[in-house]
Structure 1
Amino acid sequence: MIRLLCVLLLCLSVLPGRGAAHALDPGYLELTALREGQWRVSWRMPDVSGKPMAISPVLPEGCAASEPPPPSFDGRGWVSGWIATCLQGLAGGTITIDGLERTRTETLVRYELAPGKMQTQRLTNGAPAFTVPADLDSLGVFTSYVGLGVTHILEGVDHLLFVFALLLLIRGRGRLLWAITAFTAAHSITLAAATLGWLTLPPPPVEAVIALSIVFLGYELTLPPEARDQLAQRFPWVISFAFGLIHGLGFAGALREIGLPQDDIPLALLSFNIGVEAGQILFICGVLILGLLVHRLFPLLERGQARLVRVAGYGIGSLAAFWVIERVAAF
């Protein structure tokens, strides 16, 4: 029944153009503490049809800022920076992204109450402002980073496409459960190792290999079951574990961009990983439920599921091959 969804998924993956993707990119605001009462403001706006998105940061009341320079395009978004003076500090003040409520995107805010103590907050169109806490407690760290993990995995089309290809490729609930478990264990290992600095690899090759792993699964889907790789057929968890190690490095790259609170690194790392797993489970459950509905509404489609899986394999492999070329070219 899952296989009946492949054409729908491919259409959703391919239809959005590059311009739409830019408009859905997140904004980014960073407030770096300099000396008493001063912060360096780094602001990045998504690109919309060659112009910066109409959103802007509003710092807490009482903050005075130098005249920000006109934003410049960095190839993906519009960036600007200036110095803000907040003599009363940031704690207890409200940071707002004006105009965010009229968009479909979000903004990641990183701020320091004091040098070296970075905190993170995610703002959305439904919650475009927040009050800066004097200190983020353990519960705040947990909820914040779980939310960031869920958001990251659900917005990561390449990771979701890999999981979807596993659902199409593996036969039997037991084997599928072991494969997903192996994928989870593997990316948890490399996520922790890379985030803590025990393993360091440059992001561009990692992203290219992630796309290459999807090409492999797409190719396997184009073959009849008897012609597929025997290791993948008999021990799918081995393949899932191996590729999960690479995907974990991709998650670590995203977490490094978000940043970790220096006083709660283990908790933030665990929370982010829990969020990633929660998002992955939500995606799998959604696919299974939708597959069951399609199976009951259109039972005749079961007769052509082998052909649909093969078409899905070509679509998944072609899209992933494009990503490989695009990411290698970006080296």
Structure 2
Amino acid sequence: MTPRTCRSLLAALFFWMLAFAVLPAHAHKASDAYLQLSRDGDRIDLRWDIALRDLDAVLDLDANADQKLSWGEVRTRLGDIQAYALGRLRLQGGQCVPADTRPPAIDNRIDGAYLVLQMQAPCSAAAALSIDYRLFQDVDPTHRGLLRAQTQSAAAPMLRSLDPSAGPVSIEWADTREASPPARFFADGIHHILIGYDHILFLICLLLPAVLQRKHGVWTPVLAWKDAAWPMLGIVTMFTIAHSITLALAGLKIVTISPHLIEPAIAITIIVAALDNIRPVLRGRRRLFSFLFGLIHGFGFAGALGEIELPTRQFVLALLQFNLGVEAGQLAVVAVALMVLLALRNWRRYPPLVLHGGSMAAVVVATVWLCERVLDVKVLPFS
């Protein structure tokens, strides 16, 4: 294989990675639902909070297509909603069948409105409970259900993350008698960064010029991989420290900012980082701005953790595992992208095609995201 062919394949791989980051173009807010179970003898009480935006995507609840859901539109479809949801939740292999104890209600949270279903299920007092959770399995691979389970006599609840595609899980009621470490949150952190296409696009924008150096207004490739890796490590470290700070602050509800402000701000950080690759606007202070931009992205990562009421020890463990997962996923993205870009750095068309062309593509996509998030509309058919 000739060097030219290798460069062409690597360039194709880079643009495939860029397309992966931008084409799905999901809004960053991941799909989450909250399932709370409490056992009292041979009865299980359930509260299930499901985002109306997710239900609308599946059941088309917005009858007048005005991009806003009214209680009237939801109320007329309650039968369909409950049939859809309960058809995707089986307790104890279908032996424990939930039934309403209160009328469905709407809970307005900082990230949008949720439909609240409150139910009871007669269930034998077994030592374990099998939960088969399939909500949105066929339409949204990003969805996760966050389970909080507790007995009346338990000192602390048990926390689980439910993956609709993972099959049934079994929880041991005895495990809730002591505060137990949260399960799966490391994997959820990895999952969260990999579906956070705006975060990935931001990282790629930071990486594009890392394999070049500017001399007398001309871009030239770095001589050794260390010349690109060490400066990039500093930028990513600043970004990591910053988003870890705001992730913790948002998760602990010390600082709360609406996603309606954070999501457009994240799109703006992508635009600024991409424009800096075309014409320097940050004036060499990329580490400082990576830290400032990281503070914004951290609020985007916070997501569901802040919505779960947990004892402090459990929450800290969940937060730590989730953040470590985010960092592991982030490092994997950076490592793969940097290797590809290092291999391409001597290609004479790298500055005009990869650096400038890739950055312009990022500006366009981030601008569309910004408009979608500010105006609460859908422009891209795949967003």
Query: Do both proteins adopt the same fold according to a TM-score greater than 0.5, normalized to the shorter chain?
Result: yes
What are the within-5 Å matches in structure 2 for residues 89-238 of structure 1? 92-97=128-133, 105=141, 106-114=143-151, 117=157, 119-125=159-165, 127-134=166-173, 135=175, 140-141=181-182, 143-170=183-210, 171=212, 172-223=228-279, 228-229=280-281, 231=283, 233=284, 235-238=285-288
Q: Structure 2 vs 1, CA of residues 99 and 177 (structure 1 numbering), >3 Å: closer, same or farther?
A: closer
Q: Name the residue aligned to 1:272.
A: 322
Q: Structure 2 vs 1, CA of residues 191 and 4 (structure 1 numbering), >3 Å: closer, same or farther?
A: same
**1:208-234, Cα deviation, whole Å (9 max, x unpaired):** 1111100101212223xxxx1353x2x
Q: Structure 2 vs 1, CA of residues 4 and 249 (structure 1 numbering), >3 Å: closer, same or farther?
A: same
Which stretches in structure 2 are left out of the alignment for 5+ residues? 1-6, 62-80, 107-111, 213-227, 378-383
Checking the alignment, whether the CA contact within 8 Å between 2:21 and 2:200 is kept in structure 1 is no
Q: Structure 2 vs 1, CA of residues 183 and 57 (structure 1 numbering), >3 Å: closer, same or farther?
A: same
**1:100-159, Cα deviation, whole Å (9 max, x unpaired):** 88777254242322478362323242x211101332677752x52111111111110011
Q: Name the residue aligned to 1:60.
A: 92
Q: CA RMSD in A?
A: 3.9
Query: Identity over the aligned pairs, expressed in percent?
Result: 28
SS of 2:246 mapped into structure 1: helix
Task: Count matched residues.
Answer: 311
**1:142-180, Cα deviation, whole Å (9 max, x unpaired):** x52111111111110011111111111335322111100
**1:245-288, Cα deviation, whole Å (9 max, x unpaired):** 11111112343246656541221111111111011011112223
Q: TM-score, normalised by structure 1?
A: 0.77
Amino acid at match of 2:97: A
Which stretches in structure 1 are left out of the alignment for 5+ residues? none
SS of 1:204 mapped into structure 2: helix
Alignment partner for residue 307 of structure 1, among 352, 356, 364?
352
Separation in structure 2 between the aligned mates of residue 173 and residue 283 of structure 1, nearest angstrom: 14
SS of 1:279 mapped into structure 2: helix
Q: Name the residue aligned to 1:327.
A: 373
Following TM superposition, by how much is the alpha carbon of 1:289 offset from its aligned partner in structure 2, in angstroms?
A: 3.9
Does residue 31 (structure 1) correspond to residue 43 (structure 2)? The answer is no
Q: Structure 2 vs 1, CA of residues 283 and 261 (structure 1 numbering), >3 Å: closer, same or farther?
A: farther
Q: TM-score, normalised by structure 2?
A: 0.68
Checking the alignment, whether the CA contact within 8 Å between 1:118 and 1:262 is kept in structure 2 is no
Q: Name the residue aligned to 1:246.
A: 296
Greater C-alpha radius of gyration: 2
Following TM superposition, by how much is the alpha carbon of 1:39 offset from its aligned partner in structure 2, in angstroms?
A: 1.8
Separation in structure 2 between the aligned mates of residue 154 and residue 220 of structure 1, nearest angstrom: 24
Separation in structure 1 between the aligned mates of residue 375 and residue 137 of structure 2, nearest angstrom: 36
> Larger % of helix: which?
1
Moved more, 310-319 or 94-103: 94-103
**1:267-320, Cα deviation, whole Å (9 max, x unpaired):** 11111111110110111122234446x64xxx9x81111112111111101111
Q: Structure 2 vs 1, CA of residues 90 and 102 (structure 1 numbering), >3 Å: closer, same or farther?
A: farther
SS of 2:172 mapped into structure 1: coil
Separation in structure 2 between the aligned mates of residue 91 and residue 103 of structure 1, nearest angstrom: 33
